[in-house]
Amino acid sequence: MFFLSLIEHTLRLPPHLLNLPLDQAIKGELETLFWDKVIANLGLCVSIYDIRNIDGGFIFPGDGASTFTVNFRWIMFRPFVGEVLSGEVEESDAKGLRLSLGFFKEITLPAHLLPNPSKFGEDGKWTWDFNGTELPIEKEDEIHFKVHSIRYPPIPVEQEKDVKPFAPMVITASIDFDGLGPISWWV
Amino acid sequence: MGLFGIFLIYGLSLLVCKVFILRIYIYRLQTNAGALTNFEVLDFLRSRGASTDPTRVIASVAQSEFQVYDYLVQSAACNQTRESINEFLRCCEKFDLAKAEKINIINIRPASQVEIDPIIEDCEKRIHNDEVEDLVNMIVEVLPSSGKTGGTDEETVEAVADQEPMEVVLPPEGKPGGTDEETKETVAGQDPIDTI
């Protein structure tokens, strides 16, 4: 679920941070830049793990700030395809479900990746019809799901007014397998 | 065109509540410099000062990191220790599992055969039924369950975190300095508190 990624970045350190020790100032700047942001193909930045190398410190003409080239590692949230994760149901509608992990809420579970004879009831819940037994997916259930794919859609140039906020990282999940779905189904 | 793009990203940032893409240039030296189990991330966050009690506002941990911490604390990782994970890795050598499957098992801690099925690829072909049962029994024995006793076990796990510090380049002396500034901003007139 979590990976370390080694990144190199050229960082401009604003002059008002010059009184701090260098590594602290750079750490603070990197955190402001990367905390809780998504980097395409690397995932969601969770936390800075360490700083490996700081180079440079040049001051370019006309600028009051110094520029450093920093090598550092971030803990990234990036599940691999086929990983089994555990999350909760956030919302459920006719097209499928949306699951959440607390810190990451863009996990879609489309209707075709639910176990085969499933139907959507009027109370807004999906129910799996397993050999005659009805197994519903309740809102408070802890759900084990398998990661089907991860997409990083490009930033849209234009957005209409009332559309949902843009999600830079979308995970498609599937529970079409033995042992997946709410834990209460299999216990 | 570039300027137009930058302006739009700023505008989008007002619309989007939480997560948005940065249009800056970074070099990805190594996309995957190592996989971490949930326990290691939890340990790391704990060593930075995250915890579930109300002193969390003083620690130098961001809101987004707290959300990750809250998720990990109620998952199977909250009661694990380094020794139990090493023990598990030693015991599962004979089953010939892939690295990703081992990480997945440590993170989810399946307690029955049906829960292991989606984790191991081609489970029936690679491992016989009774061996799967052995594997499940071993998991239940070696890895602690998540249970609701997270509160009492946090004391012992934090002791482990103190003894085995992670490889952080930033010197520990830097940390109290960092939290000093935080406390001066948020709680005026209070002595700086030494976080874990």
Quote the ipTM score.
0.85
pLDDT of A48 higher than 80: yes
How far is Cα B40 from Cα B23, in angstroms, rounded to an integer?
A: 30
pLDDT of B9 higher than 80: no
Every domain of chain A with CATH number 3.30.1490.120 lies at 2-77
The CA–CA distances, whole Å, from B167 to A30, A70, A134, B133, B153 equal: 18, 17, 51, 37, 24
User: Considering only CB atoms, which chain A residues are within 8 Å of B35?
Assistant: 2-4
- Provide the 8-state DSSP code for A165: P
Q: Do A165 and B17 touch (CB under 8 A)?
A: yes
Instruction: Please write the tens of the pLDDT for every residue from A147-186.
Output: 999 988 888 877 777 777 788 889 999 888 888 888 888 8
Q: Which of residues 145-164 of B touch A (CB under 8 A)?
A: none
pLDDT of B49 higher than 70: yes
Every domain of chain A with CATH number 2.40.50.140 lies at 83-185
Residue B125 CA, chain-centre distance (Å), reads 32
- Other Cβ atoms within 10 Å of B135 Cβ, number: 22
pLDDT of A42 higher than 50: yes
Strand order in the sheet with A133-136: A118-120, A126-130, A133-136
Which tokens in the block code for residue A105? 């809420």
CATH architecture of A2-77: 2-Layer Sandwich (3.30)
Q: How far apart are the first and last CA of chain B?
A: 49
The reported pLDDT for the residue numbered A73 is: 92
> Alpha helix (H) ranges present in chain B?
2-15, 38-47, 63-73, 82-91, 99-108, 113-116, 123-126, 129-142, 150-163, 174-186
- Residue B189 pLDDT grade (very low, low, confident, very high; cuts 50, 70, 90): very low
For chain B, give every domain's residue range: 34-78, 82-142
A185 to chain B, closest Cα gap in Å? 11
B152 to chain A, closest Cα gap in Å? 23
What is the percent of chain A with per-residue pLDDT over 90, rounded to a whole number? 11
Lowest mean per-residue pLDDT among A4-13, A89-98, B50-59: B50-59
Q: Cα dihedral sign for A120, A123, A129, A130?
A: positive
CATH topology of domain A83-185: OB fold (Dihydrolipoamide Acetyltransferase, E2P) (2.40.50)
Q: Does domain B82-142 have CATH number 1.20.1250.40?
A: yes
